[in-house]
Chains A and B, each alone.
Chain A
Amino acid sequence: MDIIVCIKRVPEVAEIDLQVDQTGKGIQEEGLVFGVNDWDNYAVEEAVRIKEKHGGKVTAITVGSEESEDVVRRALALGADEAAVVTDPQAEGSDAYAIAKVLAAAIKDIPYDIILTGALADDDSYAQVGATLAELLDIPHATLVTAIEIEDKQVKIKRELEGGMEEELAVATPALFTIQSGINEPRYVSIMGIRKVAKIEVAKHDLGALGLSPDQVGSAGSFITVEKIFPPPVGEGAQILEGSPDEVATKMMDIFQKGGVV
């Protein structure tokens, strides 16, 4: 069972006050801590578990800045066998479609049975690269996967639906699955573990090496662009609901309905 895992290096933004950068199209990154996208972490763990159970090779790939090497190194420490980084300044500004094109080019010479990606990314949360990549590679896909069972001629998977329900599908390989958080409990990756894989070489590619031209990536190769970003309108801490218990209960109902709960 050879598996390719596509992972992304994202900033950690919980509890940080984000600022819009000078271009108005991104955030100020100074002082931000970066790490592997949470969903991708589950995907790497899942890939390694499948390998431990069924044998095969796990390759971790990322498309990003030079620093993105950190996340694939961590994947190696977690148990991946090989890693590759595609980095090229021309690829900046790529939307999910362009990223998927880069990944497709990076993957074309790597044999695989399964490709795993995270269901979405902590930063832009498009939830788009996985299924787009599957389409470009002409393989079946399933998103929001919460369980994978490798059988003889097919893979049985569970997908998360709304309201606590799931659906079970049978998919033939080669296939791509986007992984939902909670599918497993990712193991801890220790500092010593990362030191141990420091000597493993991480393949580095630029666009040229993959046979891609600049107009296929970046904003030129994208279908959408972020024209501007801005903070959402500010609230003042908790909005206190006032009134009699009955009035308050009615207000709560509105909130529940807005949340699609009732």
Chain B
Amino acid sequence: MDFLEKYELYACLQCGKCTGGCPVSLRAPLNIRSLMHEVLMGGSPEVALECPGLWDCTTCATCTLRCPRGLEPSELIVGLRGELVEQGNVPKTVIDALEGTFKHGNPWGKPRQKRTEWKEDIAVKVLPEEGEAEWLYFIGCAASYDPRLQGIPRILCRVFETAGVSFGILGTKESCCGNEIRRMGEEGLFEELREENTKNFNASGVKAIVTTSPHCFNTFSTEYELDGFQVLHYTQLLADLIKEGKVTFSHEVNKKVVYHDPCFLGKQHEVFDPPREILRAIPGLELLEFDRSRERSLCCEGGGGRMWAEGAGEGERNSEIRVKDAHEMGAEIIATACPFCLLTLEDGAKTTGLEEKVLIRDILELVAEAMGFDNV
């Protein structure tokens, strides 16, 4: 694979719009413009592989979105990581995540048998073994295994039931979508995950998939080549259900809430409005906006493998900036629609000492309150 050809490096103007928009460039030794240049001048990736900031990239794709030439600098970083993966030369935590995914179907290496424990006593159909449905709800690894997040799919299942949505899940057949795996450079493993999941999608009998995470949503939409399937993020489906009157809110949530656009939903797919529509429909909720919102949303630094790679960056994290900004504007809650954003922002709330002043919530957690769900 010739790097220069694959990433069209000859076309790079060196304008710097990529680095200019990079959310980690101020705190990490990562200058994507320089990397493009280095690989071009060197004729091969060798020198660039030594860049200490390669694992800081969150693959938010701001650089790719801003490039006036339509080049894909974030893909160059994925490609460089791929070289490191083939050399076996990746951080230990990344090895654990990749090996965990290979063996157990999730980057935390948790047993596959336990993938549906989030369900507790909620009755959900496993497809195709337990019947048919219109929608396949793809839970995702984070929401399946992380106790902080397991409430979220429970809420969505109850919302679907209330709204009369016909849905099912893959159960323990569900494997990591591979979005982060691919972005950590393990293309081979990504291909295996894609093949496995696609096989199960085809066998499930559905034509529509809805996800908890924007990361799963992203890869299914753009990297899976699922012919004949509709793929939605839950906020898109839920906004529609509200419009159709199938989901109504009976309880007030009297809070000032600012919405944080996840990169893999917002800037990468322009799904800005459905999450806001949901929040605006909640009675009593006052929706605030960050200055850096929508396309300019400040990447929380949870994507691109950053949940498993420490990176070389120093200084204030974006999640801390976000939480402080929310506090300054008088927001009591930061709402988001991505499990990684939620976890990363909560970390930021802890380290800034603001965890009791600024709560981090998934939109579904606010929806649960507005629908009077208890015990989720």
Contacts and interface: CB of A to CB of B under 8 A. Distances in A.
**Chains A and B touch each other in the complex, with CB atoms below 8 Å apart:** yes
Given A33-B103, A33-B104, A192-B188, A16 B113 contact: yes
A185 interface: yes
Contacts of B192: 191
Contact of B98 (A78, A186, A188): A188
Given A187-B87, A189-B88, A15 B111 contact: yes
Contacts of B111: 15-16, 33
B95 interface: yes
Contact of B113 (A31, A35, A194): A31
- A contact face: mostly helix, strand, loop, or mixed: loop
B102 A191 contact: yes
Contacts of B109: 14
Contacts of A194: 188
A65 interface: no
Given A12-B103, A35-B103, A78-B88, A191 B186 contact: yes
Interface string A192-206: 111100000000000
Contacts of A193: 86, 88, 188
A192 B88 contact: no
- Most chain A C-beta atoms within 10 Å of own C-beta, residue among B99, B109, B111: B111
Interface string B100-129: 001110000111111000000000000000
Contacts, number: 52
Contacts of B95: 186, 188
Interface string A167-197: 0000000000000000001111111111100
A188 B90 contact: yes
Contacts of B87: 187
Interface in A111-146: none
Interface residues of A, number: 19
B88 A190 contact: yes
Contacts of A191: 102, 186, 188-189, 191-192
Given A33-B104, A35-B103, A190 B85 contact: yes
- Most chain A C-beta atoms within 10 Å of own C-beta, residue among B85, B103, B109, B189: B85
A187 B88 contact: yes
Chain B contact-residue range equals 20 to 34
Nearest to B90: A188
A187 B89 contact: yes
A247 to B, nearest CB: 32
Contacts of A185: 92
A140 B113 CA distance: 44
Contacts of B114: 15
Interface in B18-32: none
Contacts of B94: 188
A108 B112 CA distance: 41
A15 B110 contact: yes
Interface string B182-193: 000011110110
A142 to B, nearest CB: 26
Nearest to B89: A187
A16 B103 CA distance: 13
Given A12-B103, A33-B104, A190 B189 contact: yes
Contacts of A195: 188
A185 B95 CA distance: 10
A189 B89 CA distance: 9
Contacts of A33: 103-104, 111-112
Contacts of B186: 190-191
Nearest to A45: B88
A121 to B, nearest CB: 17
A186 B92 CA distance: 9
A192 B92 contact: no
Contacts of B189: 190-191
B309 to A, nearest CB: 13
A16 B109 CA distance: 11
B86 A190 contact: yes
A188 B88 contact: yes
Given A185-B92, A187-B87, A192 B104 contact: no
Given A12-B103, A35-B103, A188 B110 contact: no
A190 B90 CA distance: 11
10 contacts: A12-B103, A12-B104, A15-B110, A15-B114, A33-B112, A190-B98, A190-B186, A191-B102, A191-B189, A191-B191
Interface of A: 12, 14-16, 31, 33, 35, 78, 185-195
Interface of B: 85-90, 92, 94-95, 98-99, 102-104, 109-114, 186-189, 191-192
Given A187-B87, A188-B90, 20 more contacts: A12-B103, A12-B104, A15-B110, A15-B111, A16-B111, A16-B113, A31-B113, A33-B104, A33-B111, A35-B99, A187-B89, A188-B85, A188-B98, A188-B99, A189-B88, A190-B86, A191-B186, A191-B191, A191-B192, A193-B88
